[in-house]
Amino acid sequence: MTRFAVLGAFTGLLAAANPLQAADLPIAPEPVDYVRICDAYGTRFYSIPGTETCLRVGGRVRTEFRVRNFGDAQNAWGDRDTDGYQWRSRGYLYLDARTATEFGTLRSFIELYGTATNNNNTSFTLDKAYIQWGGLLAGRAGSNFDFFTGYSYNAQIESYSDQKLNQLAYTFAFGNGFNATLAVEDQAARGTNVGLNGGTQGYGGTRMPDVVAAFGVKQGWGQAQIMGALHQVYPNGTYNGVTGGAEDELGWAIGGGVIFKFAGLGNGANVALQGVYTDGASGYGSTGWNSRITDAVFTGSNTESTKTWNVFGGISLGLTDTLVTNIEGGYHNVEGGTGAYDFTQWDATANVVWEPIQGFIMGPELQYRDLDFSRSSGLSDTNEIYGAFRLQRTF
């Protein structure tokens, strides 16, 4: 026993006298905070290490061959300097970050994409970027006025309003699927031109944001919404060389829509119908207007608002587990501030979408638009035809 004690003491003295040997002893590693699955907000969310935030990263790749207007002359194929076709590709990135707080979920969402069309790859768009906390939403998102925003690709024209813009909104949830939203939204995103001497002139500087209110319900049978908006018509200050020649007006829009679900029709179907009336706020009737549209017309002495009637809808019908067909269209009647700006517009879109693998779709689309101008406009009635074939993967 004495020999073992002496040997142990001698070994300890050697280790103390040799710090390099002591440093070579193994050291316990620091704990690692690994990425973990976060299932509180659905699939594909992961926790950000060192935080209480869950993040979902997604993307989309789209390419489509688009045949531009080949209807009545003059069309895109009748001008040698105008592209008859467009080959367009887009890459999307989605970031969705959510954190649980005592006042509700704090969410930040970003959607952006870059576009290359006919070898021009300089286009970049921040489509959405908003903060959401409980019922509060602030940032760039879809307008609270917009309800039915189409079933088909609508690669080149659309019947309805589908606008992304800056906003500050609050949504009140009443239970059983009922909700109400009050918002202020960017006026500049909704303004159309002002008619002048047979042509059009732009808006002046921004002064008043749009005010939007909506009341909706979403249940097992489908969903419905009624909505209204106030929009300031603020013409450019110079008319025929005279500064301040036109006064501003307060435009407005009102609408309602419904979407029904039919599980027993085909392989499942949705049917939508919506109507919108605007007075001095034409951008709420559609974002697919012909360029002749105005919010108002300056007659030389005053500003007369433009009034529009808009009815549109569509059906999305599942043919098989992997094949869907979509048909939609709309009718729009425009009463300009003077007869020279009156016209009617109706359009229709149909496509077939094949999804052989979840998230990967492809198929053709055909679009038609008919324009009937008033006789006093001096313009000839015309029709337009567009085509497209799209391939798209979302992940």
Give tens-digit pLDDT for 30-74: 656 667 899 889 889 999 998 999 999 999 999 999 999 999 888
Give the integer Cα–Cα distance in Å for 308 and 336: 8
Is residue 345, in this structure, part of any structural domain at all? yes
Domain enclosing residue 157, as ranges: 147-163+181-395
Q: What is the pLDDT of residue 114?
A: 96
The count of domains in the chain is 1
pLDDT single digits (tens) 175-189? 999 999 999 999 999
In a domain, 39, yes or no: no
What is the arithmetic mean of pLDDT over 270-285? 98
Q: What are phi and psi of 306, to 5 degrees?
A: -95, 135
Q: What angle do CA 281, 191, 66 make, to 5 degrees?
A: 105
Domain presence at residue 84: no
- Position 230 in a domain: yes
Cβ 184 vs Cβ 166: under 8 Å: no
User: Lowest-pLDDT range, 11-25, 116-130, 150-164, 264-278?
Assistant: 11-25
Name 209's Cβ contacts closer than 8 Å, sequence gap at least 6: 184, 185, 186, 187
Q: What is the mean pLDDT of residues 221-237?
A: 93
- Whether residue 116 lies inside any domain: the answer is no
CA distance 176 to 5: 80
Q: What is the amino acid identity at position 152?
A: S
| Residue 102 φ/ψ, nearest 5 degrees | -70, -15
Task: Convert the pLDDT of each residue in 162-176 to its tens digit.
Answer: 999 999 999 999 999
What CATH number did the domain enclosing 269 receive?
2.40.160.10
Beta bridge partners of 139: 130, 167
What is the C-alpha separation between 168 and 166, in angstroms, rounded? Answer: 7
Q: Is the peptide bond before 132 cis (omega within 30 degrees of 0)?
A: no
Q: State how beta strands 199-201 and 303-305 pair.
A: unpaired
| Residue 33 belongs to a domain | no
123 belongs to a structural domain:
no
CA distances from 332 to 310, 319, 327, 369 (A): 5, 30, 17, 11
In a domain, 94, yes or no: no
Residue 354: count of CB within 10 angstroms of its CB: 14
**How much is the pLDDT for 300?**
76
Report helix, strand or coil for 80: coil
What does pTM read for this prediction? 0.86
SS3 content of the chain, % helix, strand, coil (to 5): 10, 55, 35
pLDDT score of 78: 82
355 burial level (CB within 10 Å; 0-12, 13-18, 19+): middle
Find out whether the peptide bond into 74 is cis, omega within 30 degrees of 0: yes
